[in-house]
Structure 1
Amino acid sequence: MRALTRLEQATSLDRTAERVQRIVAAAIRPQRLRDILHGVAIGHPLHPALVQVPIGAWFSTAVLDLMPQQRRAATTLVAIGTAAALPTAITGWNDWGSLSREQQRVGLVHALANGMAIGLYAGSLAARLTGRHGLGRTLGYLGLAAVSSGGFLGGHLAYKQAASVNQGVPDLRRIEDGWHAVADMSALPQNKLLTRRIDDIAVVVYRDGDDVTVMLERCAHQSGPLGAGQVVRENGRTCVKCPWHGSTFELDGGEVVHGPASSDQQVLPTRVVGGVLQTRLP
Structure 2
Amino acid sequence: MRVKAAMQSLIRTIGKTKELDPAAEKLSGWVDAATRSPAVKNALSGAWLGHQVHPMLTDLPIGAWGAAAVLDLTGADPAASRRLVGLGILASAPTAAAGASDWSATIGSAKRVGLVHAAANATASALQITSWLLRRRGHHGAGKALSLLGLGLTLGSSYLGGHLSFVRGTGVNHTAFQPTVRRWIDVGADADLAEGARTRVMAGDVPVLLVRINARLHAISAVCTHAGGPLDEGELGADGCVTCPWHGSRFRIDDGAVRRGPASVPQPRWEAKVEDGRILLRSA
Deviation at 1:30, TM superposition (A): 2.5
Instruction: Name the aligned partner's letter for residue 16 of structure 1.
Output: A
Whether the 8 Å contact between 2:219 and 2:254 is mirrored in structure 1 is no
TM-score (norm 1): 0.92
Q: Give the structure 2 partner of residue 103 of structure 1.
A: 110
1:177 Cα deviation (Å)?
A: 4.8
Task: Pick the aligned partner of 1:59 from 49, 60, 66.
Answer: 66
Q: CA deviation at 1:4?
A: 1.8
Alignment of 1:26-45 (within 5 A): 26-45=33-52
Matched residue SS, 2:256:
coil
Superimposed CA distance per residue, residues 224-276 of structure 1 (whole angstroms, 9 cap, x where no aligned partner): 1111111113xxx4111111211100001000001111111111223333332
1:267 aligns with 2:269: yes
1:207 corresponds to 2:212 = yes
Aligned twin of 1:276: 278
Aligned to 1:160: 167
Structure 2: distance between partners of 1:120 and 1:111: 14
Report 1:1-282 matches (<5 A). Answer: 1-170=8-177, 172-173=178-179, 177-233=182-238, 237-282=239-284
Residues 78-135 of structure 1 show CA distances to partners (whole Å, capped at 9, x for unaligned) of: 0000111112111111111111222111100110110111011111111111111111
One-letter amino acid matched to 2:120? A
**Cα distance, 1:37–1:60 mapped onto 2, change above 3 Å:** same
Give, as a single letter, the amino acid of the residue that structure 1 aligns with 2:254. Answer: D
- CA distance in 2 between partners of 1:54 and 1:125 (Å): 14
The alignment's TM-score, normalised by the length of structure 2, stands at 0.91
Report if the CA contact (8 A) 1:214-1:270 is conserved: yes
Amino acid corresponding to residue 128 of structure 1 in structure 2: R
- In the alignment, is the contact (CA less than 8 A) between 1:179 and 1:279 conserved in 2? yes
In structure 1, C-alpha distance between the alignment counterparts of 2:10 and 2:206, rounded to whole Å: 34
Letter in 2 for 1:59: G
Q: Is the 8 A contact 1:169 1:266 kept in 2?
A: no
Unaligned runs of 5+ in 2: 1-7
The root-mean-square deviation of aligned C-alpha atoms, in Å, is 1.7
Asked if structure 2 preserves the Cα contact closer than 8 Å seen for 1:24 and 1:94, the reply is yes
After TM superposition, give the deviation of residue 35 of structure 1 in Å: 1.9
Aligned residues: 277
1:184 partner letter: A
Q: Which runs of 5+ in 1 are unaligned?
A: none
Q: Shift in Å at residue 149 of structure 1?
A: 1.1
Distance 1:119 1:55 in 2: 14
Q: Take 1:272 and 1:176, find their aligned partners in 2: how far apart are those partners?
A: 17
